[in-house]
């Protein structure tokens, strides 16, 4: 185990818990932080639309998730920086980076993409069948103008994938595991809340759609949590997450522009 990984291992986390540097309160706040930041960031974009006279500012803001998503990440990274600083570690310690494994981790990340896609597509299909009696297809978001679309393709997916993996796997999962004393409970809580955040990204106020987004996200969230428990390194998951989100943006925003 590398030095960074050791600082985020169960024994080190338990030691920091004993000193009071880690509490249940910090975990619960961080658990729902991304959903809260998502609503706030969408609200900022909606406010811009409202000042420009839009009759449906909240709905108009929905398409801009791959752009305002960076605000969500910024809020999460600030919270993670503060929480890790309290523990006496750094954000890098959540990643568990090991330069000796870089090539293997990148290749492993590529290998995680096929099962990840199967679970994403399968989750969408199963959720659609349960809710609507028919198999739904994944939605890739709405087209954006060229410059925002390029940002959404080239910048947003990497920051998003890294921050999301740091939040749920790097920070929350091992700490819930230590504080609860139950790996099964930690996996269930983190995976379900990770899936639940998708109901707010974007927030549509359409209950059926929000439930569909939540249920369809459960299989892949559970998969990523279990993979991290086995690896205790984020790089493979970040690579897979980054490329799959990038492909989604390409299909939803770039292809329509090319057409």
Q: How do residues 39-78 score in pLDDT, each as one tens digit?
A: 999 999 999 999 999 999 999 999 999 999 999 999 999 9
pLDDT band at 1 (very low <50, low <70, confident <90, very high): low
Q: Does the pLDDT of residue 141 top 90, yes or no?
A: no
Q: How do residues 75-128 score in pLDDT, each as one tens digit?
A: 999 999 999 999 999 999 999 888 889 999 999 999 999 999 999 999 999 998
Backbone angles phi, psi at 121, to 5 degrees: -65, -40
**∠30-42-85 over CA atoms, to 5°?**
25
Burial of 177 (0-12, 13-18, 19+ CB in 10 A): buried
Report the predicted TM-score, pTM, of the whole model to 2 decimal places: 0.94
> What number of other Cβ atoms are within 10 A of residue 87's Cβ?
21
Burial of 152 (0-12, 13-18, 19+ CB in 10 A): buried
- The rounded mean pLDDT for the chain is 93
Predicted pLDDT of residue 159: 97
Predicted pLDDT of residue 4: 65
- What sign has the CA pseudo-torsion 113, 198, 138, 135? positive
Predicted pLDDT of residue 137: 65
Q: Does the pLDDT of residue 7 top 90, yes or no?
A: no
Q: Look at the chain and count its residues.
A: 259
CA 209, CA 75: separation in Å to the nearest integer?
A: 26
């Amino acid at each position: 185990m590398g030095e960074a990984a050791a600082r985020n291992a169960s024994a080190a986390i338990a030691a920091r818990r004993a000193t009071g540097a880690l509490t249940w309160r910090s975990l619960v706040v961080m658990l729902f932080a991304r959903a809260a930041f998502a609503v706030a960031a969408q609200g900022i974009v909606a406010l811009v639309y409202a000042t420009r006279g839009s009759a449906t500012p909240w709905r108009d803001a929905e398409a801009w998730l791959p752009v305002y998503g960076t605000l969500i990440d910024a809020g999460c990274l600030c919270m993670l920086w503060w929480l890790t600083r309290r523990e006496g570690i750094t954000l890098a310690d959540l990643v568990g980076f090991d330069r000796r494994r870089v090539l293997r981790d990148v290749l492993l990340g590529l290998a995680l993409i096929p099962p990840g896609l199967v679970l994403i597509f399968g989750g969408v299909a199963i959720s659609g069948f349960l809710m609507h009696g028919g198999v739904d297809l994944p939605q890739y978001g709405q087209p954006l103008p060229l410059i925002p679309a390029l940002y959404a393709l080239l910048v947003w997916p990497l920051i998003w994938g890294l921050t999301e993996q740091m939040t749920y796997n790097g920070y929350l999962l091992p700490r819930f595991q230590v504080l609860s004393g139950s790996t099964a409970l930690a996996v269930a809580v983190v995976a379900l809340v990770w899936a639940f955040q998708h109901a707010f990204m974007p927030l549509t106020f359409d209950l059926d759609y929000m439930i569909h987004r939540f249920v369809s996200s459960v299989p892949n969230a559970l998969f990523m949590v279990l993979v991290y428990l086995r690896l205790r390194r984020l790089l493979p998951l970040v690579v897979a997450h980054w490329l799959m989100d990038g492909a989604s943006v390409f299909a939803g925003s770039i292809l329509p522009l090319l057409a």
